[in-house]
Amino acid sequence: MQTHSAPPTGRDALAAVAAVDLVKVYGAGDTAVRALDGVTVGFERARFTAIMGPSGSGKSTLMHCLAGLDTATSGQVLLGGSDLTKQSDKVLTKVRRERIGFVFQSFNLLPQLTAERNITLPLDLGGRKPDAELLDRLVTTLGLGGRLGHLPSELSGGQQQRVALARALVSRPEVLFADEPTGNLDSRSGAEVLGLLRTSARELGQTVVMVTHDAGAAAYADRVVLLADGQLAGEIHQPSIASVTDALQSLAAAR
Ligand SMILES: Nc1ncnc2c1ncn2[C@@H]1O[C@H](COP(=O)(O)OP(=O)(O)OP(=O)(O)O)[C@@H](O)[C@H]1O
């Protein structure tokens, strides 16, 4: 395992999104929790990276700060070169809508809209037209061809998550953040969704950052970033289930 605390230079300069000396403290005084304690890490373009670590290590906090969903206490979040920590709430809302995609454990589809309307809704709301070629490609790649006219209640969990993935990808976000995207899926549908995340990085050039507890899910990624106690604890390139499990066991033993 390689530790990594240098500033984002060299290869990390290609990062689609990066944290620089990021600190997040919740609360104040005796009850303050230092959820992120000086994290510097870059997420390369067109790569699929998983964030892992023990419960409470700061995974969700890091993802929320990177995605402009939460504000850091200090440090920088660089998205395509601009520092999100310097932006107003209004600008952050626009960044989240136009430059970032999200996939959550719960699919968050609107029940009264067909799969197709769910996919294009964020663009419709922003008064933008979907790129027909990309939409076609996503529908084919995600295996949704025969399902576009269906309501979410008429789709399986795996199909609903694939609709959520298409919705996130159709606006060509600079970064797709996935938070336990297979948490509500059976293992077969989960494997499909993870394979599609990998495909979107390899074939569509999509940058994907996923938080997961599951070593099997992390093994689909190109790289795993490990957190412990709010700090970077190492990283694994071309992870396997065994290498991720070993790293997590070492972190647990060191606590
Ligand atoms: N809104 C909050 N207010 C106070 N403390 C918080 C808040 N959110 C998170 N924390 C604390 O910050 C630390 C990091 O939490 P975080 O949810 O980022 O960890 P995690 O690695 O995602 O955990 P898990 O794997 O259990 O989801 C934990 O100690 C948590 O209790």
Decide if pLDDT at 12 tops 70.
Answer: no
Q: Is residue 48 included in any domain, yes or no?
A: yes
Between the CA of 141 and the centroid of ligand 1 the distance, in Å, is: 35
Residue identifier of the C-alpha nearest atom 30 of ligand 1: 56
Mean pLDDT of 159-163: 94
Nearest 10 degrees: Cα torsion 98, 226, 58, 10: -50
Which residue range(s) make up the domain with 184? Answer: 10-254
pLDDT score for 10: 42
Q: Is residue 207 included in any domain, yes or no?
A: yes
Q: Is residue 71 included in any domain, yes or no?
A: yes
Which residues sit with their C-beta closer than 6 Å to ligand 1?
26-27, 33, 35, 53, 55-61
Structure tokens at 161: 């998550």
Between the CA of 58 and the centroid of ligand 1 the distance, in Å, is: 6
Between the CA of 27 and the centroid of ligand 1 the distance, in Å, is: 12
pLDDT confidence bin for 175, thresholds 50/70/90:
very high
CATH number of domain containing 159: 3.40.50.300
Decide if pLDDT at 4 tops 50.
Answer: no
Q: Is residue 146 included in any domain, yes or no?
A: yes
Q: Is residue 22 included in any domain, yes or no?
A: yes
Residue for token digits 């996939």? 103
d(CA 254, CA 21): 23
pLDDT score for 255: 77
Between the CA of 115 and the centroid of ligand 1 the distance, in Å, is: 33
pTM over 0.80: yes
Decide if pLDDT at 63 tops 50.
Answer: yes
Q: Is residue 89 included in any domain, yes or no?
A: yes
Q: Is residue 4 included in any domain, yes or no?
A: no
Q: Determine the atom of ligand 1 nearest the C-alpha atom of 62.
A: 18
Q: At residue 33, what is the residue type? A: V
Q: Is residue 3 included in any domain, yes or no?
A: no
Q: What percent of the chain has pLDDT over 70?
A: 95
d(CA 177, CA 215): 18
Task: Name the domain count of the chain.
Answer: 1
Burial, 2: exposed, middle or buried (Cβ in 10 Å; 0-12, 13-18, 19+)?
Answer: exposed
Q: Which of 144, 7, 6, 174 lies closest to 76, judged by CA?
A: 7
d(CA 99, CA 173): 5
